[in-house]
Amino acid sequence: METDLICPKCRAPLSASAHVYTCPAGHSYDRSKEGYVNLLLNAKRGTHGDNREMILARRDFLDSGYYGALAEALAEAVSCRLGAHAHLLDAGCGEGYYTAACDSRLANAQILGIDLSKEALKLACKRLPNAAFAVGSLYDLPVADESQDALVCLFAPLASEEFHRVLKPNGLFVMAVPGVRHLFGLKQVLYDSPYENPQKDSALEGFALEEERAVDTRATLTSPRDIAALFAMTPYYYRTPAEGRARLAALDTLQTEISFRLLIYRRV
Ligand SMILES: [Zn+2]
C-alpha cells in the first residue's frame, strides 16, 4: 500500500505491508508490534521525547476532558474545511488525543501522526488503530512534499518550513497558542505576582491567517494527580520556585481559566 511517508535514507516513497515499510531502493523499516514505524535515523539509545510516566499522566489529564473544548474547536475547524479522503498530518501527535479528535469528524481520512516519543506513539496506536504513526523529527519530517491536505500542530515545536514543504498548495495548517489568561488560576498558586501571557503576533511566513478563534473555558481539577499532570504539561514546571511547588502540591482542587487561540492558516 502506498503511503505519504518517505524513506529517511533516500527520500523515496515508502510502501507499507502488514509488518514492514519499504522503499524502491530496498531500505526497509519494521512496524512495531503496536503498529508504528521508526523512521528516525542515527537515534541515540534511550528515550526520546517525554518519559512514560509523564506521557501517561498527560493522557489521563486529557482524557478527563479539561481541554475538550480545544479538541472540539480543532475538529470543527478541520472538518468544516476538508472533504472526504483528506490526508491529515498531526505533527507532534503525542498520545494521539488531538489526532483522534480530528479523525472522529473526518470521513475516510488518511491520518498520519509523527512524534519523537515511541512511548507516546504506542498509546496513539491503541487509540487510533487505523491511522499511521511514525517516529520522526518535526524538523526533518519523513513525509512526501506537498502530500498533505491539512497539518495540525498542538503544542509541539513549530517547524514551519517543514510544515510548508509537506502541505499541498492552499493546504490547511492549524495550531493553538495560549490565551492571555490561560492557566491564570494555576499561576496564582505558583507565583506571588503572576503575569498574564503575552499576546503573540500570529503572522507566519509562508502562511496566510484565515481565521483566529478564541477557546475560553474554566476547569475545576479535582485530584492532586490531575493538578500535577497539568503542572507537568506547562513551561512553569521547569522554572517554579520551591515555595510555589509546595503550595500547589498541597491542593486537592484547583480552579483555573483554560484559554487558547486556535490559529487557522492556509499555506501560500
Ligand atoms: Zn530508501
Per-residue confidence band for 48, with pLDDT thresholds at 50, 70 and 90: low
| Residue-wise DSSP of the chain | -EEEEE-TTT-PEEEE-SSEEE-TTS-EEEBPSSS-EE--TTPPSS--SS-HHHHHHHHHHHHTTTTHHHHHHHHHHHHTT--TT-EEEEET-TTSHHHHHHHHTSSS-EEEEEES-HHHHHHHHHH-TTSEEEE-BTTB--B-TT-EEEEEESSS---HHHHHHHEEEEEEEEEEEE-TTTTHHHHHHH-SS--PPP-----BTTEEEEEEEEEEEEEEE-SHHHHHHHHHHSGGGGT--HHHHHHHHT-S-EEEEEEEEEEEEEE-
Mean pLDDT of 92-110: 96
Q: Which residue segments constitute the domains of the chain, with CATH numbers given?
A: 2-41+49-267 (3.40.50.150)
Query: pLDDT of 108-154, one tens digit each?
Result: 999 999 999 999 999 999 999 999 999 999 999 999 999 999 999 99
CA of 103 to the centre of ligand 1 (A): 29
CA of 157 to the centre of ligand 1 (A): 27
Residue 261 reports pLDDT greater than 80:
yes
CA of 2 to the centre of ligand 1 (A): 14
CA of 27 to the centre of ligand 1 (A): 5
CA of 14 to the centre of ligand 1 (A): 8
Which pLDDT value is given to residue 49?
A: 61
CA of 220 to the centre of ligand 1 (A): 50
CA of 141 to the centre of ligand 1 (A): 15
Which pLDDT value is given to residue 88?
A: 98
CA of 119 to the centre of ligand 1 (A): 25
